[in-house]
Amino acid sequence: MTPFSLFPSQTRKLKKRVLLTASVLLIQGSVTGTVFAQDSKVLATVGDHSITAADVDQALLDMGQQFQNFPETERRARVLDSLIDFNTLAILAKQEGLDQDAAVKRRIALLQARALHNGYFQSKIQPVVTEEKMKARFDAEMAGAKPEQKVSARHILVKTEEEAKAIIKELESGADFAELAKSKSTGPSGPKGGDLGEFGKGQMVPAFEAAAFALEPGAFTKSPVQTQFGFHVIKVEKRIDQPLPTFEQSKNQLQQLLLTEAYTESVKSGREKLGVKLLDESLKLPEVK
């Protein structure tokens, strides 16, 4: 069982409402990043502008993936060199008046909004999700959780209902299921005696799943089961209860779930407080159901 299977309704709702938005991509960067201590040690200067150790730390946090192929001992030097390049052209751009260009202003505003967005998340939202809250949520969800069940099954697939009924009669007369599967099944599992291995709910087409999970171990279907693939005769070998996940196994998923919920609530209350007006109705998102 995957830990998120404990929270199916919440997960579906949040995926629809938040997880596919660009905002959460920004959240993920701030969640997984390391917060560095302030370090005002000057490492380089470009004209009158100073580049500090804290600037390098921040650049590593924001752009670390671009330098991941370099040795760790060289990485900070590479980042510092890039910051020197950035600041060199930035100073020249200001001297040329490019900071007053409309497109550049929009880009600066976007980058500033992104930085403030992530800063708010890191300082106001992230601290709210504590170990105690994760444990309390885990205990609440586990109180009503049941182990996920899987079955180990075989099947015989044929083209017509008449063929399937004839196979059922043979089985009722004592024929071996695996041998019949080898000789009669048209499915890819036929040579293996119809063995499908273990599967849980949601892994098979609905009609097949319903029939399989209705059987007790050792029993086979008394009527053919029709799917888009043909007609099946199914036998369940055994049922397996999957152990429920522990808190430690669920911790990362719980953290992401609670962070996303807290983020969603903060955005919702912020929008209501500030007032949001969508002036182009063609860009309105469909309602989340």
Q: What is the pLDDT of residues 25-75, one digit of tens each?
A: 445 444 444 444 467 899 999 999 999 999 999 999 888 889 989 998 899
Please tell me the pTM assigned to this model. 0.66
Spatial CA neighbour of 64 closest among 32, 86, 89, 37: 32
The mean per-residue pLDDT over the stretch 263-280 comes to 96
The rounded distance, in Å, linking the Cα atoms of 193 and 191 is 5
Domain spanning 149-241, CATH architecture: Roll (3.10)
- Spans of all domains in the chain: 3-139+252-283, 149-241
pLDDT digits (tens, 9 = 90+) for 66-112: 998 999 889 999 999 999 999 999 999 999 999 999 999 999 999 99
Cα pseudo-dihedral 18, 22, 28, 31, rounded to 10: -80
Q: What angle do CA 84, 86, 91 make, to 5 degrees?
A: 95
The rounded distance, in Å, linking the Cα atoms of 93 and 87 is 9
What amino acid is encoded at 142 in this protein?
M
pLDDT of residue 157 exceeding 60: yes
pLDDT band of residue 144 (cuts 50, 70, 90) is confident
The rounded distance, in Å, linking the Cα atoms of 113 and 118 is 9
